[in-house]
C-alpha cells in the first residue's frame, strides 16, 4: 500500500503521542479480549511444544541453536555458579564486527 512507503506516514511518537490510534474515547477493554486470548493461547501452545520436545533438565543439541562449537559452550551449560560454570556473556564475541 502507498501508506507503507517511506515518508508517507507520520512519525509514530509524534502522530500518536498517547500510544493510541484513532479516538481513545472509543476504546474498550472488550475489544482487546479476543486478541489477547489468542496471543495467550498461542504462547501456551508454543511453550507446551517446547516442553514436549525438551523436557526440564534437557537442552537441544548445541549445533542446532548456536554458531559455537560444543566444546566452546560446554561451560555455559553447567549449573550456574557451580565449578567450571561460565556465563554466555563471558564468551568471546563473534561476528563481522569482532575479530
Give domain limits for the chain. Answer: 2-90
CA–CA separation, 90 vs 74, rounded Å?
13
Only one residue has cell 556473556, namely 89
| pLDDT value for 19 | 58
User: What pTM value is reported for the model?
Assistant: 0.51
Residue 87: strand, helix, or coil: coil
Q: pLDDT tens track of the chain, all 99 residues?
A: 545 566 666 666 666 656 566 677 777 888 889 989 999 999 999 999 999 999 988 888 888 888 888 899 999 988 899 999 999 898 888 887 777
Nearest-angstrom CA–CA distance, 18 and 78: 45
**Residue 11's pLDDT is what?**
65
Give every CB contact of residue 60 below 8 A, 6+ residues apart in sequence: 53, 54
Q: Cα separation of 86 and 78, whole Å?
A: 8
Per-residue pLDDT at 61: 87
Q: Residue 9: its pLDDT value, please?
A: 63
Amino acid at each position: 500500500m502507498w501508506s507503507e512507503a517511506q515518508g508517507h506516514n507520520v512519525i509514530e511518537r509524534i502522530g500518536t503521542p498517547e500510544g493510541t490510534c484513532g479516538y481513545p474515547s472509543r476504546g474498550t477493554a472488550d475489544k482487546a479480549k479476543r486478541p489477547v486470548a489468542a496471543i495467550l493461547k498461542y504462547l501456551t501452545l508454543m511453550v507446551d511444544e517446547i516442553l514436549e520436545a525438551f523436557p526440564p533438565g534437557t537442552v537441544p543439541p548445541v549445533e542446532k541453536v548456536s554458531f559455537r562449537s560444543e566444546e566452546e559452550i560446554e561451560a555455559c551449560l553447567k549449573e550456574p555458579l557451580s565449578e567450571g560454570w561460565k556465563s554466555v556473556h563471558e564468551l568471546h564475541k563473534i561476528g563481522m564486527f569482532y575479530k
